[in-house]
Amino acid sequence: MKWFFQNKRIYADYASGTPIDQDVFSAMRPFIQKDSFNPQGLYKESRTVHTALENARRDVARLCGVTDKNVVFTSGGTEANMIAILSLYETVISSIPGTPKILVSSIEHPSVLGVVELLKKRGCEIISIPVTKEGIVDVSFIEKNLDTQTVLVIVMGANNEIGTVQPISRIGRIVRQFRKDTNSLYPYMHSDIVQMGNTHSVQLSGMHVDSIALSGSKIYGPKGSGVWVFQGAISPKSWFSGGTQEFGFRPGTHNVSACIGFARALVIAQKTYKSEYERLLELRKELYAQIQSALPDAVLIGSKKERLPHNLYLAFPNISAEQLVIELDARGVAVSSQSACSTGNGKVSHVLQAITGQDGILQEGIRISLGRNTTKKDILEIARAVKESVTKLYTDRNRFLPYEKNT
């Protein structure tokens, strides 16, 4: 990670992408160069690669508390969500008389919302689960809306924009109890935990969910890697065809180096997740305290308590988030004004809309996200840069205000 962000610039956008870990890179290297054989072959070289791939799968399975056949390597979190939702849906759809129903939180990542939209076009009823003003899903809404037509409940572990951590284990228990009471195998519960791999356990049993998605690009692994993991009692059906790789769920020649890099990254992240949680929380608290004391107008969006330890999402009244990002960039600090996934589409964040409901939209803010390389010194620098940038934007605004009024 040494070469990432040199020359005194400070990277504070870890929620959008983490630099690759040196150990991960070293583990991947042979499979890009000398061992770049197709693991499907029967000859010695292929068998060696196949063994390495299966060892990587075993590592992921052990960390998630499932067996090897419940781990499907994907090309990232987007594909993991898509394969998870489509496969689980395909598994139960033939047992549902009438219209199937999916309960999905209103603040999911677009990769989830896009797939459920597709299922809606195919006749599935989609119920959007509202969130509180603090950005936490309404659990009682789920309880009220669960019925025998419900095939899937989808709630992400933590939101990628505002960093709020959702009560997934509580929801998972409710879903399980409902299955028990109705003597049914479904609904299944899927959770996108892409943002949690560095700071939380990825054991499925602790979360009480049936299925999760993870991405290598958020755990210091390679971009374009990820997994879909599901619990043992499910025998999902594949939505896809065209190859036998990844048990048919993800056909196509393996990107072996990416799979191996992903597994190594997860091993490292899960070894350190508890200490990393505490360290990042301390840094985040310090950063928030510094910014608040310099700029008391700063508004924290999303719950302060139920929040990823490395996420700070702040809005400043009458300040454009985009301009603030540009000012910070000029001062050597990289943050984002929306999740990287929605930057550039010009749309108001659906997450902020979900928080305010129908009555209006919250002003967009900046997302500062910390990571393994963030130091106490960086925190002081970020706080200083935020203070300078916001002050400059307020000054510019006041200077141009009379002109704006006359036009």
In this structure, the number of other CB atoms found within 10 A of the CB of residue 321 comes to 21
**Which residues are at the interface with ligand PLP (CB under 6 A)?**
76-78, 109, 111, 156, 160, 192, 194-195, 215, 217, 226, 339-341
- Name the residue nearer to ligand PLP (CB basis): 215 or 349: 215
Residue 341: CB minimum distance to ligand PLP, A: 5
Residue 194: CB minimum distance to ligand PLP, A: 4
How far apart are the C-alpha atoms of 153 and 142, rounded to whole Å?
8
CA distances (Å), 215 to each of 1, 76, 222, 346, in order?
18, 5, 9, 25
Query: What one-character-per-residue DSSP string does 325-358 give?
Result: HHHHHHTTEE-BSS-TTTTTS-PPPHHHHHHHGG
Of 64, 124, 259, 341, the active-site residue reads: 341
- Name the residue nearer to ligand PLP (CB basis): 223 or 387: 223
Long-range contacts of the stretch 4-8 (C-beta < 8 A, 24+): 4/373, 5/334, 5/373, 8/332
- Name the residue nearer to ligand PLP (CB basis): 92 or 116: 116
- Name the residue nearer to ligand PLP (CB basis): 18 or 231: 18
Residue 218: CB minimum distance to ligand PLP, A: 7
How far apart are the C-alpha atoms of 352 and 337, rounded to whole Å?
12
- Name the residue nearer to ligand PLP (CB basis): 78 or 91: 78
Residue 217: CB minimum distance to ligand PLP, A: 5
* Structure tokens given for 4: 């990432």
Direct distance between the N- and C-terminal alpha carbons of the chain, in angstroms, rounded to an integer: 50
Max CA distance (Å), the chain? 78
- Name the residue nearer to ligand PLP (CB basis): 217 or 245: 217
3-state SS, one letter per residue, for 105-144: ECCCCHHHHHHHHHHHHCCCEEEEECECCCCCECHHHHHH
Residue 339: CB minimum distance to ligand PLP, A: 6
Active site residue 64: no
Residue 255: CB minimum distance to ligand PLP, A: 13
CA distances (Å), 243 to each of 49, 156, 248, 252, in order?
18, 30, 6, 6
Contact (CB, 8 A) for 192 and 108: yes
What amino acid positions are annotated as catalytic residues? 341
